[in-house]
Amino acid sequence: MSKLRKVLVSVFASFGPVIVFVAAEHLLSLRWAIGISTAYTLGEVIWRKARRQKLDQIFVFTAAMTLGFGAIDLVLNQPVFLKYEAVGTNVLTGIYFGLTARGEKSIMEAAYEKAPSAEPVTPEMEAYFRAFTAVFTFYFFAKAVAYFFVARRYTYDQALAIRTVVGNVSLFGLVGLAWLFGQPCFQFARRRGWITLRERRAPGSPAVD
């Protein structure tokens, strides 16, 4: 129970703004969701700053996405924008994941390091997290395309219902496939030379060209 609690706290610490927004929107309304998620995010930032804790990249991204699109929803309040909003959020999320996959540390590695009892990341683990992040990058772009055609064909309420089912099923399905076949696929890609390992260096040490 202690480890489960730590995992849940870690997840909420990174994805709290979007979790609060989605829960409030389903239980109350869009305006309530914007107000509650804004208050939560500001409170979380103040609390972390008071404790001199660094704001990790995942929290900053989810907070910016939640508050940014929430504010646009509130100002525009147009059915057309609401129908296509999920397209934009998935495109931006895909871009963000793709940038971290090519950066110094992928978002999956950053999330892993926040988990309880996380082991030191080896070059092979880093490459695996980078490949996993790349898979999710393509997933978000593919979902954006699917949501675009759904938005064009159906009303907002119909599109919202379809997105809820498709989004949850596809996300949990992808996570399940990664859990079952992620390592074999990764090792196959390594043997084919599609994935190479980076040499890890100690923080603060100069890069070697």
Whether residue 184 sits in one domain with residue 106? yes
Q: Are residues 147 and 163 in contact, defined by beta-carbon separation less than 8 angstroms?
A: yes
The domain boundary, picked from 46, 77, 108, lies at 77
Q: How confident is the model at residue 148 (pLDDT cuts 50, 70, 90)?
A: very high
Q: Residues 70-125: pLDDT tens digits? A: 777 777 666 566 778 788 888 888 888 888 888 888 877 877 777 666 678 788 88
Q: What percent of the chain has pLDDT over 90?
A: 6
Cα of 174 vs its chain's centroid, Å = 14
Residue 135 lies in a domain: yes
Full residue range of the structural domain in which residue 119 is found = 84-196
Query: Is the same domain home to 120 and 156?
Result: yes
Mean pLDDT of 53-60: 77
Phi, psi (rounded to 5 degrees) for 100? -70, -30
Residue 17 lies in a domain: yes
Residue 91 lies in a domain: yes
Contact 144, 127 (CB under 8 A): no
Give the integer Cα–Cα distance in Å for 77 and 75. 6
- Mean of the pLDDT values across residues 166-184? 82
Do 178 and 89 share a structural domain?
A: yes
Domain presence at residue 118? yes
pLDDT recorded at residue 157 = 80
Close Cβ partners of 190 (under 8 Å, ≥ 6 residues apart): 127
In terms of domains, do 150 and 90 share one? yes
Q: Return the residue matching tokens 């496939």.
A: 177
Task: Provide the pLDDT for residue 9.
Answer: 61
Short-list 87, 25, 100, 88, CA closest to 58: 100
- Give the separation between CA 61 and CA 90, rounded to whole angstroms: 13
Tokens encoding 69: 């699109």
Give the end of a domain, one of 37, 62, 77. 77
**Which residue would you say has higher pLDDT here, 209 or 26?**
26
Residue 43 lies in a domain: yes
Number of domains the chain is built from: 2
Cα–Cα nearest to 100, from 55, 145, 136, 66: 136
Specify whether the CB–CB gap between 14 and 59 falls below 8 A: yes
Domain boundary among 34, 60, 77: 77
Structure token pair of residue 186: 């990764």
Whether 118 and 189 map to the same domain: the answer is yes
The amino acid at 172: F
pTM value > 0.85: no
Contact 18, 66 (CB under 8 A): yes
